[in-house]
């Protein structure tokens, strides 16, 4: 399985939690509905739901809650008939409007509709509590929000199609991308870059590691991550690299994704052709 599909699946997975971790608005619920197939089946301790039209009503119980979903492990595998399935374990924490607090461990099983090169929808979601914990509440929104952006950025890069349009949603109006090849400050210049070296790749795979996010203020995050990268050129040469990324991210919760304001990239292992 190419990492493109892994990143697309994880993008949607991390987006799922964000609605519950900030105030629910009509616009944010609309974005959440995009994740769901029309005939979705949802099963949890709160009961079963069939069909996405029932979902907004289901959300009302969480009005005024503080929720945090700390992802402990997540994997994506090929399931029956070519469907992709995501398995995850989390620590879930909440504080209800009356001040009551709770913390649980939970397993998720998510089956996706068939997809190839675009964001998938959830076909089934099964949520299984596995135990109680005594954790102190810690906000998980910054990590889930920035990881959704991270995986969608990587998926869009791995399309290798030279199309700059999807990136407009992921960059602030005045952004700065500092690559080893130079600095980019406009979509036009970024389009030129995308149609250079990236478009000469037949396959591009990013494996994130050493992820870290820090909150600067309510709307700004600092993210650090490393990528172990491998790819195949159009003429079938294999390449590797290892890079370190430092992003400053600006967030408007009403938008589908947070946006990158600055990106500083350091090559730890240069892009190299290997046998």
How far is CA 103 from each of CA 52, 66, 114, rounded to the nearest angstrom?
A: 27, 12, 34
Where helices occur in the chain by DSSP H, the ranges are: 3-18, 26-33, 55-59, 141-158, 187-194
Query: Average of pLDDT values for 228-235?
Result: 96
Q: What local confidence, expressed as pLDDT, does residue 80 receive?
A: 73
Q: What's residue 81's pLDDT?
A: 78
CA distance linking residue 124 with residue 139, whole number of Å: 27
**pLDDT confidence of residue 248:** 98
Please, which contacts does 23-27 make with residues 24 or more away whose CB atoms are closer than 8 Å?
Answer: 23/253, 24/59, 24/62, 24/63, 25/254, 27/254
Of residues 197 and 25, more confidently modeled: 25
Distance CA 225, CA 246 (A): 7
Confidence of residue 82 (pLDDT cuts 50, 70, 90): confident
What is the reported pLDDT for 88? Answer: 98
Q: Is the pLDDT of residue 215 over 90?
A: yes
Torsion of CA 121, 17, 250, 4, to 10 degrees: -40
User: Bridge partners of 182?
Assistant: 179
Question: What pLDDT is stored for residue 1 in this prediction?
Answer: 62
CATH code 3.10.450.50 for 142-274: yes
Question: Could you tell me the strand order of the sheet in which 259-274 lies?
Answer: 182-184, 171-179, 259-274, 238-250, 220-233, 201-217
53 contacts: CB under 8 Å, gap ≥ 6: none
3-139 CATH: 3.10.450.50
Asked whether the predicted pLDDT for residue 66 surpasses 90, the reply is: yes
* CA pair distance 166, 44, nearest whole angstrom: 34
Nearest residue to 178 (alpha-carbon basis) of 272, 258, 245, 270 = 245
- pLDDT of residue 195 exceeding 80, the answer is yes
Q: Check if the beta carbon of residue 106 is closer than 8 Å to that of residue 92.
A: yes
Q: Which of 162, 207, 193, 197 is nearest to 271 (CA)?
A: 197
Per residue in 9-59, pLDDT (tens digit) is 999 999 999 999 999 999 999 999 999 999 999 999 989 999 999 999 999
Integer CA distances (angstroms), 244 to 10, 44, 268, in order? 21, 39, 7
* pLDDT tens-place string over residues 244-269: 999 999 999 999 999 999 999 999 99
Q: Mean pLDDT across the chain, nearest whole number? A: 96
Residue range 88-124, pLDDT digits in tens: 999 999 999 999 999 999 999 999 999 989 999 999 9
CATH 3.10.450.50 boundaries in the chain: 3-139, 142-274
237 φ, ψ to 5°?
-90, 135
Residues 61-88, mean pLDDT to the nearest whole number: 93
In percent, how much of the chain has pLDDT > 70?
A: 100
pLDDT at 90: 98
Q: 47-50 and 182-184 as β-strands: parallel, antiparallel, unpaired?
A: unpaired
Question: For residue 174, what are the β-bridge partners?
Answer: none
């Amino acid at each position: 399985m190419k990492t493109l599909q892994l990143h697309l699946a994880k993008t949607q997975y991390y987006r799922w939690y964000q609605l519950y971790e900030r105030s629910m608005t009509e616009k944010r619920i609309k974005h959440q509905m995009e994740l769901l197939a029309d005939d979705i089946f949802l099963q949890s301790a709160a009961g079963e739901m069939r069909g996405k039209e029932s979902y907004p009503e289901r959300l009302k119980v969480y009005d005024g809650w503080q929720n945090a979903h700390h992802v402990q492990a997540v994997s994506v595998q090929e399931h029956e008939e070519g469907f992709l399935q995501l398995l995850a374990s989390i620590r879930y924490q909440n504080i209800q409007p009356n001040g009551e607090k709770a913390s649980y461990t939970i397993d998720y099983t998510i089956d996706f509709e068939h997809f190839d090169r675009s964001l998938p929808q959830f076909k089934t979601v099964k949520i299984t509590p596995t135990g109680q914990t005594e954790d102190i509440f810690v906000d998980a929104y910054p990590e889930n929000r920035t990881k959704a952006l991270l995986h969608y950025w990587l998926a869009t890069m791995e399309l290798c199609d030279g199309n700059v349009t999807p990136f407009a949603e992921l960059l602030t109006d005045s952004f700065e991308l500092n690559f080893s090849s130079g600095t980019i400050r406009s979509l036009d210049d970024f389009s030129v870059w995308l149609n250079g070296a990236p478009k000469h790749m037949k396959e591009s795979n990013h494996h994130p590691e050493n992820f870290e996010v820090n909150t600067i203020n309510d709307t700004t995050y600092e993210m650090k991550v490393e990528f172990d990268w491998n790819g195949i050129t159009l003429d079938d040469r294999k390449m590797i690299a290892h890079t370190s990324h430092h992003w400053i991210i600006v967030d408007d919760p009403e938008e589908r994704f947070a946006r990158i304001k600055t990106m500083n990239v350091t090559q730890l292992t240069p892009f190299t052709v290997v046998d």
